Structure 1
Amino acid sequence: MEHHITIQSEGIELAATLHYPAFGDGDGQRKADERLPIVIIAHGFVGTRIGIDRLFVLTARDLASHGYMVLRFDYGGCGESSGDYGAGGLDALIDQTRSVIDYALGIDCVDPQRVILLGHSLGGAVALLTAARDKRVKTLVMWSSVAYPFNDIVGITGKKAYEQAVQSGSTDYLGYSLKPVFFESLTRHQPFEQLRKFNGDVLLVHGTSDEVIPVDYCFLYQKLFWLRSQGQCDKEVVFQADHTYTGGQAKEQLISKTRDWLLVQDKRKQDWNDWTI
Protein backbone atom coordinates (compact mmCIF):
# COMPACT_ATOMS: atom_id res chain seq x y z
CA MET A 1 0.00 0.00 0.00
CA GLU A 2 1.36 3.40 -0.99
CA HIS A 3 0.21 6.90 -0.05
CA HIS A 4 1.33 10.18 -1.59
CA ILE A 5 1.69 12.80 1.14
CA THR A 6 3.04 16.30 1.75
CA ILE A 7 5.43 17.11 4.61
CA GLN A 8 5.91 20.69 5.81
CA SER A 9 9.46 21.93 6.41
CA GLU A 10 10.12 25.61 7.14
CA GLY A 11 7.43 26.81 4.74
CA ILE A 12 8.38 24.32 2.01
CA GLU A 13 6.06 21.51 0.99
CA LEU A 14 7.99 18.28 0.53
CA ALA A 15 6.30 15.78 -1.75
CA ALA A 16 6.67 12.24 -0.39
CA THR A 17 5.45 8.68 -0.81
CA LEU A 18 4.84 6.40 2.15
CA HIS A 19 4.96 2.63 1.65
CA TYR A 20 3.22 0.31 4.11
CA PRO A 21 4.16 -3.38 4.38
CA ALA A 22 1.66 -6.16 4.02
CA PHE A 23 0.22 -7.48 7.26
CA GLY A 24 -0.31 -11.15 7.95
CA ASP A 25 1.53 -14.33 8.93
CA GLY A 26 3.50 -14.98 5.74
CA ASP A 27 7.22 -14.52 5.15
CA GLY A 28 8.30 -10.89 5.24
CA GLN A 29 4.98 -9.73 6.68
CA ARG A 30 4.29 -7.99 9.97
CA LYS A 31 1.50 -8.44 12.49
CA ALA A 32 -1.09 -5.68 12.46
CA ASP A 33 -0.30 -4.59 16.04
CA GLU A 34 3.51 -4.71 15.62
CA ARG A 35 5.71 -1.62 15.77
CA LEU A 36 7.44 -1.24 12.41
CA PRO A 37 10.94 -0.18 11.37
CA ILE A 38 10.98 2.68 8.87
CA VAL A 39 13.47 3.40 6.09
CA ILE A 40 13.71 7.03 4.97
CA ILE A 41 15.28 7.48 1.53
CA ALA A 42 17.28 10.65 0.77
CA HIS A 43 17.97 11.20 -2.93
CA GLY A 44 21.11 12.79 -4.38
CA PHE A 45 22.06 16.07 -6.02
CA VAL A 46 19.13 17.48 -8.09
CA GLY A 47 17.47 14.07 -7.94
CA THR A 48 13.96 12.95 -7.03
CA ARG A 49 12.28 10.37 -4.84
CA ILE A 50 11.75 8.21 -7.94
CA GLY A 51 15.46 7.78 -8.69
CA ILE A 52 17.23 7.03 -11.96
CA ASP A 53 15.49 4.09 -13.64
CA ARG A 54 13.02 4.09 -10.71
CA LEU A 55 15.73 2.96 -8.29
CA PHE A 56 14.06 4.34 -5.15
CA VAL A 57 10.61 3.15 -6.16
CA LEU A 58 11.88 -0.40 -6.66
CA THR A 59 13.87 -0.27 -3.43
CA ALA A 60 10.90 0.98 -1.42
CA ARG A 61 8.56 -1.66 -2.79
CA ASP A 62 11.06 -4.43 -2.16
CA LEU A 63 11.67 -3.35 1.43
CA ALA A 64 7.93 -2.92 2.04
CA SER A 65 7.38 -6.49 0.82
CA HIS A 66 9.79 -7.60 3.54
CA GLY A 67 8.04 -5.83 6.39
CA TYR A 68 9.49 -2.31 6.36
CA MET A 69 7.70 0.98 6.19
CA VAL A 70 9.49 3.21 3.67
CA LEU A 71 9.27 6.97 3.23
CA ARG A 72 10.87 8.50 0.15
CA PHE A 73 10.69 12.25 -0.49
CA ASP A 74 11.76 15.07 -2.80
CA TYR A 75 14.01 17.76 -1.35
CA GLY A 76 12.81 21.34 -1.74
CA GLY A 77 12.98 22.44 -5.38
CA CYS A 78 13.23 18.85 -6.65
CA GLY A 79 10.58 16.57 -8.09
CA GLU A 80 7.14 17.67 -6.92
CA SER A 81 8.29 19.68 -3.88
CA SER A 82 8.00 23.44 -3.65
CA GLY A 83 10.94 25.79 -3.09
CA ASP A 84 14.27 26.34 -4.82
CA TYR A 85 16.88 23.62 -4.64
CA GLY A 86 19.99 24.61 -2.72
CA ALA A 87 18.50 27.95 -1.58
CA GLY A 88 19.41 27.25 2.03
CA GLY A 89 22.54 25.26 1.28
CA LEU A 90 23.35 21.90 2.76
CA ASP A 91 21.89 23.02 6.10
CA ALA A 92 18.44 23.25 4.49
CA LEU A 93 18.76 19.68 3.18
CA ILE A 94 19.64 18.47 6.68
CA ASP A 95 16.71 20.41 8.17
CA GLN A 96 14.33 18.97 5.58
CA THR A 97 15.56 15.46 6.36
CA ARG A 98 14.88 16.07 10.05
CA SER A 99 11.37 17.31 9.21
CA VAL A 100 10.76 14.01 7.41
CA ILE A 101 11.99 12.15 10.50
CA ASP A 102 9.54 14.23 12.58
CA TYR A 103 6.72 13.11 10.31
CA ALA A 104 7.82 9.47 10.36
CA LEU A 105 7.91 9.34 14.15
CA GLY A 106 4.43 10.83 14.26
CA ILE A 107 3.07 7.65 12.68
CA ASP A 108 1.64 5.46 15.45
CA CYS A 109 2.94 2.13 14.19
CA VAL A 110 6.57 3.27 13.68
CA ASP A 111 9.16 1.93 16.10
CA PRO A 112 11.30 4.91 17.23
CA GLN A 113 14.17 2.52 17.96
CA ARG A 114 14.33 1.37 14.33
CA VAL A 115 14.66 4.52 12.26
CA ILE A 116 16.88 3.86 9.23
CA LEU A 117 18.22 6.63 7.01
CA LEU A 118 19.25 5.59 3.49
CA GLY A 119 21.01 8.13 1.29
CA HIS A 120 22.44 8.01 -2.23
CA SER A 121 25.35 10.16 -3.46
CA LEU A 122 24.97 13.66 -1.95
CA GLY A 123 21.98 12.21 -0.12
CA GLY A 124 24.40 9.78 1.55
CA ALA A 125 26.45 12.67 2.90
CA VAL A 126 23.28 14.49 3.99
CA ALA A 127 22.07 11.31 5.71
CA LEU A 128 25.34 11.02 7.61
CA LEU A 129 25.39 14.70 8.59
CA THR A 130 21.78 14.38 9.75
CA ALA A 131 22.50 11.23 11.76
CA ALA A 132 25.52 12.90 13.38
CA ARG A 133 23.28 15.55 14.94
CA ASP A 134 19.98 13.67 15.30
CA LYS A 135 20.07 10.75 17.73
CA ARG A 136 16.71 9.50 16.51
CA VAL A 137 18.51 7.93 13.52
CA LYS A 138 19.55 4.45 14.64
CA THR A 139 20.90 2.90 11.42
CA LEU A 140 22.56 4.39 8.36
CA VAL A 141 22.78 3.08 4.78
CA MET A 142 25.03 5.02 2.39
CA TRP A 143 24.99 4.27 -1.34
CA SER A 144 27.84 5.68 -3.46
CA SER A 145 28.20 8.52 -0.99
CA VAL A 146 29.82 11.88 -1.49
CA ALA A 147 32.77 12.35 0.90
CA TYR A 148 34.04 15.83 0.00
CA PRO A 149 30.84 17.81 -0.74
CA PHE A 150 32.39 20.85 -2.39
CA ASN A 151 34.93 19.04 -4.56
CA ASP A 152 32.53 16.26 -5.50
CA ILE A 153 29.62 18.52 -6.48
CA VAL A 154 31.82 20.99 -8.37
CA GLY A 155 33.22 17.92 -10.13
CA ILE A 156 29.66 17.18 -11.29
CA THR A 157 28.58 20.72 -12.22
CA GLY A 158 31.96 21.73 -13.63
CA LYS A 159 34.26 24.45 -12.35
CA LYS A 160 32.86 26.98 -14.83
CA ALA A 161 29.39 26.66 -13.32
CA TYR A 162 30.78 27.33 -9.86
CA GLU A 163 32.77 30.35 -11.08
CA GLN A 164 29.69 31.73 -12.82
CA ALA A 165 27.65 31.38 -9.62
CA VAL A 166 30.28 33.35 -7.70
CA GLN A 167 30.63 36.04 -10.34
CA SER A 168 27.00 36.42 -11.42
CA GLY A 169 25.10 35.38 -8.29
CA SER A 170 23.72 32.19 -9.82
CA THR A 171 24.38 29.54 -12.41
CA ASP A 172 22.05 27.31 -14.38
CA TYR A 173 22.68 23.59 -14.02
CA LEU A 174 20.16 21.33 -15.77
CA GLY A 175 17.50 23.97 -15.17
CA TYR A 176 18.33 24.40 -11.48
CA SER A 177 19.50 27.86 -10.39
CA LEU A 178 22.42 27.33 -8.02
CA LYS A 179 23.60 30.29 -5.98
CA PRO A 180 26.88 30.97 -4.13
CA VAL A 181 25.22 30.12 -0.78
CA PHE A 182 24.80 26.53 -1.96
CA PHE A 183 28.45 26.09 -2.93
CA GLU A 184 29.64 27.91 0.21
CA SER A 185 27.63 25.55 2.40
CA LEU A 186 29.34 22.56 0.80
CA THR A 187 32.71 23.78 2.09
CA ARG A 188 31.45 24.00 5.68
CA HIS A 189 30.35 20.39 6.02
CA GLN A 190 32.91 17.60 6.24
CA PRO A 191 31.32 14.13 6.57
CA PHE A 192 34.60 12.48 7.60
CA GLU A 193 34.85 14.85 10.57
CA GLN A 194 31.26 14.26 11.66
CA LEU A 195 30.91 10.50 11.34
CA ARG A 196 32.26 9.73 14.83
CA LYS A 197 29.20 11.47 16.28
CA PHE A 198 26.99 8.67 14.96
CA ASN A 199 27.08 5.51 17.07
CA GLY A 200 24.71 3.30 15.10
CA ASP A 201 25.37 0.55 12.56
CA VAL A 202 26.30 1.50 8.99
CA LEU A 203 26.14 -0.20 5.60
CA LEU A 204 28.24 1.22 2.76
CA VAL A 205 27.57 0.19 -0.85
CA HIS A 206 29.51 1.37 -3.91
CA GLY A 207 29.98 0.27 -7.51
CA THR A 208 33.43 -0.43 -8.93
CA SER A 209 32.60 1.41 -12.19
CA ASP A 210 31.35 4.59 -10.55
CA GLU A 211 32.82 7.47 -12.58
CA VAL A 212 31.04 10.18 -10.56
CA ILE A 213 32.03 9.36 -6.98
CA PRO A 214 35.19 7.21 -6.54
CA VAL A 215 34.72 3.75 -5.07
CA ASP A 216 37.78 4.48 -2.90
CA TYR A 217 35.51 6.61 -0.71
CA CYS A 218 33.71 3.46 0.41
CA PHE A 219 36.91 1.94 1.80
CA LEU A 220 37.96 5.19 3.47
CA TYR A 221 34.53 5.64 5.05
CA GLN A 222 34.69 2.13 6.48
CA LYS A 223 38.14 2.66 7.99
CA LEU A 224 36.97 5.80 9.73
CA PHE A 225 33.70 4.24 10.92
CA TRP A 226 35.74 1.39 12.40
CA LEU A 227 37.58 3.89 14.60
CA ARG A 228 34.39 4.65 16.52
CA SER A 229 33.93 3.21 19.97
CA GLN A 230 30.39 2.02 19.14
CA GLY A 231 28.54 0.74 16.11
CA GLN A 232 29.62 -1.63 13.36
CA CYS A 233 30.21 -0.84 9.71
CA ASP A 234 29.89 -3.24 6.79
CA LYS A 235 30.53 -2.59 3.12
CA GLU A 236 29.41 -4.15 -0.14
CA VAL A 237 31.20 -3.43 -3.41
CA VAL A 238 29.09 -4.16 -6.49
CA PHE A 239 31.29 -5.27 -9.39
CA GLN A 240 31.00 -3.11 -12.54
CA ALA A 241 28.09 -1.08 -11.13
CA ASP A 242 27.99 2.61 -12.06
CA HIS A 243 26.90 5.54 -9.88
CA THR A 244 23.17 4.89 -10.30
CA TYR A 245 23.40 1.06 -10.53
CA THR A 246 22.13 1.03 -14.11
CA GLY A 247 21.07 -2.37 -15.37
CA GLY A 248 19.00 -5.10 -13.81
CA GLN A 249 21.83 -7.11 -12.29
CA ALA A 250 23.54 -4.18 -10.56
CA LYS A 251 20.24 -2.82 -9.28
CA GLU A 252 19.15 -6.22 -7.99
CA GLN A 253 22.45 -6.72 -6.17
CA LEU A 254 22.21 -3.28 -4.58
CA ILE A 255 18.66 -3.80 -3.36
CA SER A 256 19.13 -7.40 -2.23
CA LYS A 257 22.38 -6.70 -0.37
CA THR A 258 20.76 -3.74 1.38
CA ARG A 259 17.60 -5.65 2.26
CA ASP A 260 19.46 -8.73 3.52
CA TRP A 261 21.77 -6.58 5.67
CA LEU A 262 18.83 -4.72 7.21
CA LEU A 263 17.00 -7.98 7.97
CA VAL A 264 20.10 -9.43 9.66
CA GLN A 265 20.57 -6.28 11.75
CA ASP A 266 16.90 -6.28 12.70
CA LYS A 267 16.99 -9.92 13.80
CA ARG A 268 20.23 -9.42 15.72
CA LYS A 269 18.80 -6.50 17.66
CA GLN A 270 15.55 -8.30 18.41
CA ASP A 271 17.43 -11.38 19.61
CA TRP A 272 19.60 -9.17 21.80
CA ASN A 273 16.54 -7.46 23.29
CA ASP A 274 14.94 -10.83 24.00
CA TRP A 275 18.13 -12.03 25.69
CA THR A 276 18.48 -8.91 27.86
CA ILE A 277 14.87 -9.14 28.99
Structure 2
Amino acid sequence: MKERLEFVKCQDHEVPMLIDVPDSGNQFPAILLIHGFMSGKSNDNHMLQRISQSITASGIVAARIDLCSMGENLCSREQYGMKVMIEEVKASFDYLQSLREVDNKRVGLLGHSLGGRLAFTCSTLPAKVIISLNGAINTQEPINVGYDQKQMQNLGYSIIHTADGRVELLYPRFDADIKATLNNNIEKFTNPILVGVATTDPTLNPEISLNFIKHSGMENVDYFTVDNSDHTYNVESGDFTKLNEVIGKVVPWLKEHI
Protein backbone atom coordinates (compact mmCIF):
# COMPACT_ATOMS: atom_id res chain seq x y z
CA MET A 1 0.00 0.00 0.00
CA LYS A 2 1.19 3.51 -0.87
CA GLU A 3 -0.14 6.48 1.12
CA ARG A 4 0.14 10.14 0.22
CA LEU A 5 -1.24 13.41 1.57
CA GLU A 6 -2.76 15.91 -0.84
CA PHE A 7 -4.72 19.14 -0.46
CA VAL A 8 -7.92 19.69 -2.41
CA LYS A 9 -9.05 23.20 -3.28
CA CYS A 10 -12.53 24.04 -1.95
CA GLN A 11 -13.87 27.59 -2.00
CA ASP A 12 -11.37 29.71 -0.01
CA HIS A 13 -9.48 26.86 1.68
CA GLU A 14 -8.01 23.41 1.16
CA VAL A 15 -9.25 20.00 2.27
CA PRO A 16 -6.50 17.62 3.46
CA MET A 17 -6.87 14.19 1.88
CA LEU A 18 -4.91 11.04 2.77
CA ILE A 19 -5.01 8.63 -0.16
CA ASP A 20 -4.23 4.92 0.20
CA VAL A 21 -3.43 3.16 -3.09
CA PRO A 22 -2.99 -0.60 -3.60
CA ASP A 23 0.54 -1.77 -4.37
CA SER A 24 -0.16 -3.47 -7.68
CA GLY A 25 -2.38 -2.46 -10.57
CA ASN A 26 -2.97 0.60 -12.73
CA GLN A 27 -6.53 1.72 -12.14
CA PHE A 28 -8.86 1.00 -9.24
CA PRO A 29 -12.32 1.76 -7.89
CA ALA A 30 -12.20 4.25 -5.02
CA ILE A 31 -14.13 5.32 -1.97
CA LEU A 32 -14.15 8.58 -0.01
CA LEU A 33 -14.27 8.16 3.79
CA ILE A 34 -16.04 10.94 5.72
CA HIS A 35 -15.55 11.31 9.46
CA GLY A 36 -18.16 12.24 12.03
CA PHE A 37 -19.05 15.20 14.24
CA MET A 38 -16.01 17.01 15.70
CA SER A 39 -13.75 14.19 14.56
CA GLY A 40 -11.10 13.89 11.85
CA LYS A 41 -9.42 11.51 9.45
CA SER A 42 -6.97 10.35 12.16
CA ASN A 43 -9.16 10.60 15.28
CA ASP A 44 -11.08 7.92 17.19
CA ASN A 45 -7.94 5.83 17.63
CA HIS A 46 -7.31 5.92 13.86
CA MET A 47 -10.65 4.22 13.15
CA LEU A 48 -10.95 5.46 9.56
CA GLN A 49 -7.31 4.64 8.90
CA ARG A 50 -7.92 1.04 9.95
CA ILE A 51 -10.98 0.84 7.70
CA SER A 52 -9.06 2.50 4.86
CA GLN A 53 -6.13 0.09 5.05
CA SER A 54 -8.44 -2.93 4.91
CA ILE A 55 -10.29 -1.49 1.92
CA THR A 56 -7.01 -0.78 0.13
CA ALA A 57 -5.74 -4.31 0.82
CA SER A 58 -8.76 -5.53 -1.15
CA GLY A 59 -7.72 -3.58 -4.26
CA ILE A 60 -9.67 -0.34 -3.79
CA VAL A 61 -8.28 3.19 -3.40
CA ALA A 62 -9.45 4.71 -0.10
CA ALA A 63 -9.22 8.43 0.66
CA ARG A 64 -10.06 10.10 3.95
CA ILE A 65 -10.43 13.82 4.57
CA ASP A 66 -10.50 16.38 7.37
CA LEU A 67 -13.70 18.42 7.26
CA CYS A 68 -13.93 22.14 8.08
CA SER A 69 -11.49 23.18 10.89
CA MET A 70 -10.84 19.61 11.98
CA GLY A 71 -7.43 17.90 11.88
CA GLU A 72 -5.26 19.60 9.28
CA ASN A 73 -8.14 21.58 7.74
CA LEU A 74 -7.45 25.30 8.32
CA CYS A 75 -10.95 26.61 7.55
CA SER A 76 -12.33 28.71 10.42
CA ARG A 77 -14.23 26.84 13.14
CA GLU A 78 -16.92 29.52 12.92
CA GLN A 79 -17.76 28.10 9.47
CA TYR A 80 -18.16 24.54 10.80
CA GLY A 81 -21.51 23.40 9.45
CA MET A 82 -23.22 21.29 6.83
CA LYS A 83 -23.02 23.86 4.03
CA VAL A 84 -19.24 24.09 3.88
CA MET A 85 -18.83 20.38 4.60
CA ILE A 86 -21.15 19.47 1.71
CA GLU A 87 -18.94 21.54 -0.59
CA GLU A 88 -15.84 19.84 0.84
CA VAL A 89 -17.27 16.39 0.16
CA LYS A 90 -18.22 17.37 -3.38
CA ALA A 91 -14.79 18.87 -4.10
CA SER A 92 -13.07 15.80 -2.63
CA PHE A 93 -15.25 13.41 -4.65
CA ASP A 94 -14.51 15.29 -7.87
CA TYR A 95 -10.80 15.30 -7.09
CA LEU A 96 -10.79 11.57 -6.36
CA GLN A 97 -12.51 10.96 -9.69
CA SER A 98 -9.77 12.95 -11.45
CA LEU A 99 -6.85 10.84 -10.23
CA ARG A 100 -5.13 8.78 -12.94
CA GLU A 101 -5.20 5.62 -10.81
CA VAL A 102 -8.95 5.86 -10.17
CA ASP A 103 -11.75 4.51 -12.36
CA ASN A 104 -13.94 7.62 -12.30
CA LYS A 105 -17.13 5.63 -12.86
CA ARG A 106 -16.55 3.55 -9.71
CA VAL A 107 -16.18 6.01 -6.84
CA GLY A 108 -18.25 5.66 -3.67
CA LEU A 109 -18.93 7.38 -0.36
CA LEU A 110 -18.55 5.98 3.17
CA GLY A 111 -19.54 8.09 6.16
CA HIS A 112 -19.48 7.53 9.90
CA SER A 113 -21.96 9.40 12.16
CA LEU A 114 -22.36 12.94 10.77
CA GLY A 115 -20.32 11.66 7.85
CA GLY A 116 -23.18 9.28 7.10
CA ARG A 117 -25.52 12.24 6.94
CA LEU A 118 -23.12 13.97 4.57
CA ALA A 119 -22.91 10.87 2.38
CA PHE A 120 -26.71 10.66 2.15
CA THR A 121 -26.99 14.41 1.53
CA CYS A 122 -24.34 14.19 -1.21
CA SER A 123 -26.10 11.28 -2.91
CA THR A 124 -26.70 13.68 -5.80
CA LEU A 125 -23.10 12.91 -6.75
CA PRO A 126 -22.55 10.02 -9.20
CA ALA A 127 -21.53 7.68 -6.38
CA LYS A 128 -21.29 4.01 -7.27
CA VAL A 129 -22.16 3.02 -3.69
CA ILE A 130 -22.97 4.71 -0.38
CA ILE A 131 -22.12 3.25 3.02
CA SER A 132 -23.34 4.65 6.34
CA LEU A 133 -21.83 3.51 9.65
CA ASN A 134 -23.87 4.64 12.68
CA GLY A 135 -24.97 7.53 10.50
CA ALA A 136 -27.23 10.47 11.32
CA ILE A 137 -29.09 9.59 8.13
CA ASN A 138 -32.45 11.10 9.06
CA THR A 139 -31.67 13.91 6.63
CA GLN A 140 -35.25 15.21 6.58
CA GLU A 141 -35.09 15.97 10.32
CA PRO A 142 -32.87 18.27 12.42
CA ILE A 143 -30.41 16.54 14.73
CA ASN A 144 -29.52 17.57 18.26
CA VAL A 145 -25.85 17.21 19.17
CA GLY A 146 -26.54 18.03 22.84
CA TYR A 147 -24.62 21.28 23.27
CA ASP A 148 -25.15 23.74 26.15
CA GLN A 149 -27.72 26.19 24.75
CA LYS A 150 -27.32 28.71 27.58
CA GLN A 151 -23.56 28.73 27.02
CA MET A 152 -24.16 29.26 23.31
CA GLN A 153 -26.43 32.24 24.04
CA ASN A 154 -24.10 33.82 26.59
CA LEU A 155 -20.73 33.20 24.95
CA GLY A 156 -21.59 32.82 21.27
CA TYR A 157 -20.20 29.29 21.30
CA SER A 158 -20.52 26.04 23.23
CA ILE A 159 -17.69 23.89 24.60
CA ILE A 160 -17.84 20.31 23.33
CA HIS A 161 -16.02 17.43 25.02
CA THR A 162 -15.37 14.76 22.41
CA ALA A 163 -15.34 10.99 22.92
CA ASP A 164 -11.58 10.87 22.38
CA GLY A 165 -10.86 13.45 25.09
CA ARG A 166 -10.52 16.69 23.12
CA VAL A 167 -12.20 20.02 23.89
CA GLU A 168 -13.66 21.82 20.87
CA LEU A 169 -15.84 24.90 20.26
CA LEU A 170 -19.18 24.75 18.45
CA TYR A 171 -20.67 27.92 16.93
CA PRO A 172 -24.30 28.77 15.98
CA ARG A 173 -23.55 28.12 12.30
CA PHE A 174 -23.79 24.37 12.91
CA ASP A 175 -27.40 24.43 14.11
CA ALA A 176 -28.46 26.88 11.40
CA ASP A 177 -26.88 24.77 8.67
CA ILE A 178 -28.51 21.55 9.88
CA LYS A 179 -31.91 23.19 9.47
CA ALA A 180 -31.02 24.81 6.15
CA THR A 181 -29.80 21.58 4.54
CA LEU A 182 -32.67 19.20 5.31
CA ASN A 183 -33.25 17.03 2.25
CA ASN A 184 -34.62 13.78 0.84
CA ASN A 185 -31.85 13.29 -1.72
CA ILE A 186 -31.25 9.65 -0.83
CA GLU A 187 -34.74 8.70 -2.01
CA LYS A 188 -33.60 9.32 -5.61
CA PHE A 189 -30.37 7.31 -5.27
CA THR A 190 -30.61 4.02 -7.17
CA ASN A 191 -27.15 2.50 -6.68
CA PRO A 192 -26.36 0.13 -3.77
CA ILE A 193 -26.56 1.40 -0.19
CA LEU A 194 -25.16 -0.34 2.89
CA VAL A 195 -26.29 0.74 6.38
CA GLY A 196 -24.37 -0.47 9.42
CA VAL A 197 -25.82 0.14 12.87
CA ALA A 198 -24.57 -0.53 16.38
CA THR A 199 -27.72 -1.62 18.20
CA THR A 200 -26.45 -0.37 21.58
CA ASP A 201 -24.99 2.94 20.36
CA PRO A 202 -25.25 5.35 23.35
CA THR A 203 -24.31 8.45 21.30
CA LEU A 204 -26.60 8.37 18.28
CA ASN A 205 -29.98 6.68 18.61
CA PRO A 206 -29.71 3.42 16.60
CA GLU A 207 -33.39 3.76 15.73
CA ILE A 208 -32.35 6.43 13.19
CA SER A 209 -30.65 3.78 11.06
CA LEU A 210 -33.06 0.98 11.96
CA ASN A 211 -36.06 3.10 10.93
CA PHE A 212 -34.44 3.86 7.58
CA ILE A 213 -33.79 0.17 7.02
CA LYS A 214 -37.38 -0.74 7.93
CA HIS A 215 -39.29 2.08 6.27
CA SER A 216 -37.29 3.43 3.32
CA GLY A 217 -38.99 1.06 0.89
CA MET A 218 -35.83 1.12 -1.22
CA GLU A 219 -34.83 -2.21 -2.78
CA ASN A 220 -31.17 -1.14 -3.11
CA VAL A 221 -30.56 -1.06 0.69
CA ASP A 222 -28.50 -3.72 2.46
CA TYR A 223 -27.69 -3.60 6.15
CA PHE A 224 -25.92 -5.23 9.05
CA THR A 225 -26.05 -4.79 12.81
CA VAL A 226 -23.37 -4.92 15.49
CA ASP A 227 -24.23 -5.70 19.11
CA ASN A 228 -22.42 -4.59 22.28
CA SER A 229 -20.72 -1.69 20.55
CA ASP A 230 -20.51 2.03 21.20
CA HIS A 231 -20.64 4.75 18.54
CA THR A 232 -17.03 4.22 17.43
CA TYR A 233 -17.07 0.43 17.83
CA ASN A 234 -15.23 0.48 21.19
CA VAL A 235 -11.95 1.60 19.58
CA GLU A 236 -11.24 4.23 22.24
CA SER A 237 -10.76 1.34 24.69
CA GLY A 238 -8.11 -0.22 22.45
CA ASP A 239 -10.36 -3.19 21.70
CA PHE A 240 -10.79 -3.51 17.93
CA THR A 241 -12.95 -6.63 17.97
CA LYS A 242 -16.14 -4.79 16.95
CA LEU A 243 -14.38 -2.62 14.40
CA ASN A 244 -12.91 -5.74 12.82
CA GLU A 245 -16.43 -7.19 12.73
CA VAL A 246 -17.59 -4.08 10.86
CA ILE A 247 -14.65 -4.26 8.46
CA GLY A 248 -15.47 -7.93 7.85
CA LYS A 249 -18.96 -6.86 6.69
CA VAL A 250 -18.03 -3.70 4.79
CA VAL A 251 -15.06 -4.81 2.69
CA PRO A 252 -16.63 -7.89 1.00
CA TRP A 253 -19.84 -5.93 0.30
CA LEU A 254 -17.84 -3.04 -1.15
CA LYS A 255 -15.77 -5.33 -3.37
CA GLU A 256 -18.94 -6.90 -4.73
CA HIS A 257 -20.85 -3.70 -5.39
CA ILE A 258 -18.30 -1.10 -6.43
Q: TM-score, normalised by structure 1?
A: 0.83
Matches within 5 A, 1:1-40: 1-23=2-24, 31-32=25-26, 35-40=27-32
Q: Which residue of 2 aligns with 1:137?
A: 127
Which structure is larger by alpha-carbon Rg, 1 or 2?
1
User: Does 2:184 match 1:196?
Assistant: no
**1:168-206 CA deviation, whole Å, 9 max, x = no partner?**
432232443322222111123335x33212221100001
The answer to whether the Cα contact below 8 Å between 1:89 and 1:182 also exists between their aligned partners in 2 is yes
Q: Distance in 2 between matches of 1:113 and 1:205?
A: 24
* Structure 1: gaps (5+ residues): 24-30, 267-277
For 1:37-186, list aligned pairs within 5 A.
37-85=29-77, 87=79, 89-131=81-123, 133-134=124-125, 136-148=126-138, 152-155=143-146, 157=147, 161-174=148-161, 175-186=167-178
| Distance 1:187-1:162 versus aligned 2 partners, 3 A rule | farther
Cα deviation, residue 11, structure 1:
1.5
Name structure 2 gaps, 5 residues minimum: 162-166
Q: 2:5–2:17: 8 Å Cα contact kept in structure 1?
A: yes
Q: Residue 170 of structure 1 aligns to which amino acid in structure 2? A: Y
CA distance in 2 between counterparts of 1:37 and 1:79 reads 26
SS at match of 2:41: coil
Secondary structure of the corresponding residue to residue 79 of structure 2: coil
Displacement of 1:86: 5.7
Count of residues paired in the alignment:
247
Identity among equivalent positions (%) equals 21
Deviation by residue 1:110-145 (Cα, 9 ceiling, x = unmatched): 1122111000001100111011x32x2121000001
Query: Which structure has more helix as a fraction of its residues?
Result: 1
Q: Which amino acid aligns with 1:197?
A: K
Q: Match for 2:135: what amino acid?
A: S
Structure 1 CA distance, aligned partners of 2:249 and 2:198? 13
> 2: CA distance between counterparts of 1:86 and 1:37?
35
Superposed CA offset, 1:42-98 (max 9, x none):
000010101312111111111111100011010120001111236152111100000
Structure 2 residue matching 1:242: 3-state secondary structure: coil
Higher RCO (CA-CA < 8 Å; seq separation 6+): 2
2:69 and 2:80 in contact (8 A); partners too: no
Q: TM-score, normalised by structure 2?
A: 0.88
CA-based RMSD:
2.0
Which of the numbers 249, 254, 257 marks the counterpart of 2:249?
257
Find 2:224's aligned residue among 226, 233, 236.
Answer: 236
Tell whether the 8 Å contact from 1:147 to 1:190 is kept in structure 2 after alignment.
Answer: no
The CA deviation string for residues 240-263 of structure 1, in whole angstroms up to 9 with x for no partner, is 111000122101011110001112
